[in-house]
Amino acid sequence: MFDYTPYAGLPETADEAKKQCVLANRILANEHVLDGYGHVSVRNPETGNTFFQARVVAPEFVTYDDMLEVDLQANIVTKTDFRAYGERVIHAAVLKARQDVFAVFHGHPHEVVAFSTTGMPFRSLGQFCGMFWNPLPVFDAYRSGSGMLLSTPEDGAELARALGDAYGIVMRGHGFTMTGNSVQQMVMNSIFLRDNTKMQLMLLPAPSAEIRYLSEEEGRGTEKTQYSDISLGRCWKYWVARAKKAMPDLGDF
């Protein structure tokens, strides 16, 4: 019989947080939300004011030994010669501004990048992605000469301000940043935003006025369902199983 218990839940130790960070990287790579670029972070439950993130490596190949500890000023705490992601400033700023957030994603799915240039809202079309009933904010405050990368603490703070209390923020021509109050929720939010965007792209020929998005009542109701232990646990175990099948090195991780 299928076990609907959510995988692990919130980690209680740094070791568990690192393992969930590895799984999140692998799952999002396997589901084609992350490619050779992008990254995730998981708050350290033992400190609350540091987080774990892989060194510079493609998400599909992240291992436990790649984990670095970073503080909320984006300083590397781990003594290492490994190179850290420049855009760790995004994760540091969001985790500093949002104590409700436990995990952060940043990546560049082509569907989201394409739709970010249309000016249309990122908003729920289907029941499974009801958490986006309120259109996500769009970031478009890139520094001149930055190459549309956010690499300074000021860049990270600007994005965190634009994010506000939303689940995520789309970055025009770049990708998106997503949050979750658990690793499992962050993974669900990231996959389902990409999938909702795929559906929105199918509707581009249709006038915006003819598109019937989920209402606030519908969205809040489906959001509650999707974040329940049964639904979140079911999806998480599905994604973990798919990742382990595609990536045998995960073994019994």
Domain ranges of the chain: 14-247
- Per residue in 100-154, pLDDT tens? 999 999 999 999 999 999 999 999 999 999 999 999 999 999 998 889 999 999 9
Written as six digits, the tokens of 250 are 């995960």
For the beta sheet containing 50-54, the strands, ordered from the edge strand earlier in sequence to the opposite edge, are 67-71, 50-54, 39-43, 103-107, 175-180, 168-171, 138-139
Confidence (pLDDT) at 5: 39
pTM attached to this predicted model: 0.94
Give the SS3 label for residue 233.
helix
Rounded average pLDDT over 75-99: 97
- Residue 72 above 90 pLDDT? yes
- Residue 1 above 70 pLDDT? no
- Per residue in 7-63, pLDDT tens? 557 899 999 999 999 999 999 999 999 999 999 999 999 999 999 999 999 999 999
Confidence (pLDDT) at 46: 97
- Per residue in 225-252, pLDDT tens? 999 989 999 999 999 999 999 999 998 7
Most distant CA pair in the chain, distance: 56
Confidence (pLDDT) at 8: 57
Angle made by CA atoms 54, 108, 200, in degrees to the nearest 5:
140
Confidence (pLDDT) at 4: 33
Give the SS3 label for residue 169.
strand
Under CATH, which architecture does the 14-247 domain have? Answer: 3-Layer(aba) Sandwich (3.40)
- Residue 207 above 90 pLDDT? no
- Residue 173 above 90 pLDDT? yes
Confidence (pLDDT) at 2: 35
Confidence (pLDDT) at 208: 67
In angstroms, rounded to a whole number, what is the distance separating the alpha carbons of residues 222 and 240? Answer: 23
Q: Nearest to residue 40, comparing CAs of 108, 109, 104, 112?
A: 104
